Structure 1
Amino acid sequence: MNRIGITGAHKSGKTTLAKAVAKKWNIAFVETSLSDVLRAYGVTPNEELPFAKRLEVQQGMIGHLINILSDAGDNFIADRTFMDIAAMTLSFMPHNVSSIESETVRLIIDQCYRAQEAFFDKAIIVTNSFDPPMEEAAAEKGIFCWSWNFQISAIVKGLALNPMNRCNTSFLPETASSLPRRMEHMERMIGEMYQETAGQLH
């Protein structure tokens, strides 16, 4: 199986890279837009929410992503992973939370780690160095904020390096800020994955 997920902050180039990889290696591209989840809860990406409500939304996102990936097959690349949802959850968490909210966060993180292992064979983390498009954010798209994106990138790295992460994970170098440079690294990673798969079949 070659189930690949791209992880990174908002506007770090996840979708652009995933589409390019899908086209070059002729694998399915799985778009993991969470706009439907936000609409279902009646919220927008840039809206301030009470943390308890935010946790409800994040749990809805996990279920939505599970549903999408359950029908994706065994050979795909997705432009988001459960690690993104875990990182966003932690980024929204205030310093003072109730014991119930704290336990809910723990359960969300645990569920994200378990789903990451179950639905992905490889996670590839992109950094905040990708040049975002100079355009106004649509109503259902989050606004680009460098400092918040930097925070998300740092959280993602911490989640990936935690022993609870049992999904094979690689990092694209910080210097790979353009699509051609990223594709060079992806070619090596994809090649290694196919070699491992071929070896398992013999």
Structure 2
Amino acid sequence: MNLGLCGSHRTGKTTLAEAISQRMGIPFVKTGTSEVFRQHGLDPSNPLDFEKRLWIQHKILNAAERVWQSEEKPFVTDRTPLDMAAYTLADIRGSTEVNFAELEGYLSRCFDVTNKIFKLLVLVQPGIPLVYEEGKAALNESYLEHLNFLILGLCNDARIKSIFLYIDRHTTDIENRVRTILEAIEKVKADIKTN
């Protein structure tokens, strides 16, 4: 069963994915968002108009899907198409010019890839102390909350067929986070056997 950890940046998803990988003996599959930006001559920290944002988001989703599909065994990853959808939606403001049909097409593709690749989605919510690191995304707590609620909404969308759970924001200890996920996996396996 493929496990997708989703949530805003700086919430401990990578550390948690590494711990789950070690505990379960499954691969931790990384995707290269920054690499995709660089391949197309863009800097992820620079602002983009929405048309360019949607264009690069398609490239990022395609690259990630290729990586995930190349895996022959169950894996864990620290980014899902729903994260990509949330970051795209977060760029829209009241005055942003958006081709809604193109946006809807992208969001539908994010839902389709999520359903095809991931059996279990786990939202890792903000809660751990924020620590500045060179080259990492901005430490804007309000933006992290904004993304968290976007992803929470996307995970609960009727188009999502994956099983979804969230880690309570007060669960910040890595061992408690790992235990929460391992218990959820066992429950999912038991439910699959009984159905």
Cross-structure match for 1:47: 46
* Equivalent of 1:173 in 156, 162, 168: 168
Following superposition, the deviation at residue 62 of structure 1 comes to: 0.8
Paired residue secondary structure (1:171): strand
* Equivalent of 1:157 in 152, 160, 164: 152
* Counterpart mapping for 1:177-196 below 5 A: 177-196=172-191
Paired residue secondary structure (2:17): helix
Residue by residue, what CA displacement relative to the aligned partner does 1:5-49 show, whole Å, maximum 9, x if unpaired? Answer: 000001111111011001011111111231111112222222111
Paired residue secondary structure (2:31): coil
Cross-structure match for 1:67: 66
Paired residue secondary structure (2:145): helix
CA–CA distance in 1 between the matches of 2:119 and 2:89? 24
RMSD: 1.7
Residue by residue, what CA displacement relative to the aligned partner does 1:73-97 show, whole Å, maximum 9, x if unpaired? Answer: 2411111111000101100113234
CA–CA distance in 1 between the matches of 2:13 and 2:111? 20
Preserved contact between residue 124 and residue 172 of structure 1 (Cα < 8 Å): yes
Structure 2 regions of 5+ residues with no counterpart?
Answer: none
Cross-structure match for 1:31: 30
Preserved contact between residue 50 and residue 97 of structure 2 (Cα < 8 Å): no
Preserved contact between residue 132 and residue 139 of structure 2 (Cα < 8 Å): no
Following superposition, the deviation at residue 104 of structure 1 comes to: 1.3
Paired residue secondary structure (1:125): strand
Cross-structure match for 1:137: 134
CA–CA distance in 2 between the matches of 1:193 and 1:137? 38
Paired residue secondary structure (2:2): strand
Q: TM-score, normalised by structure 2?
A: 0.93
Following superposition, the deviation at residue 131 of structure 1 comes to: 2.3
Structure 1 regions of 5+ residues with no counterpart?
Answer: none
CA–CA distance in 2 between the matches of 1:119 and 1:186? 18
CA–CA distance in 1 between the matches of 2:166 and 2:184? 10
User: Percent identical across equivalent pairs?
Assistant: 23
Following superposition, the deviation at residue 185 of structure 1 comes to: 0.7
Preserved contact between residue 38 and residue 57 of structure 1 (Cα < 8 Å): yes
Q: TM-score, normalised by structure 1?
A: 0.90
CA–CA distance in 2 between the matches of 1:113 and 1:8? 15
CA–CA distance in 2 between the matches of 1:147 and 1:45? 20
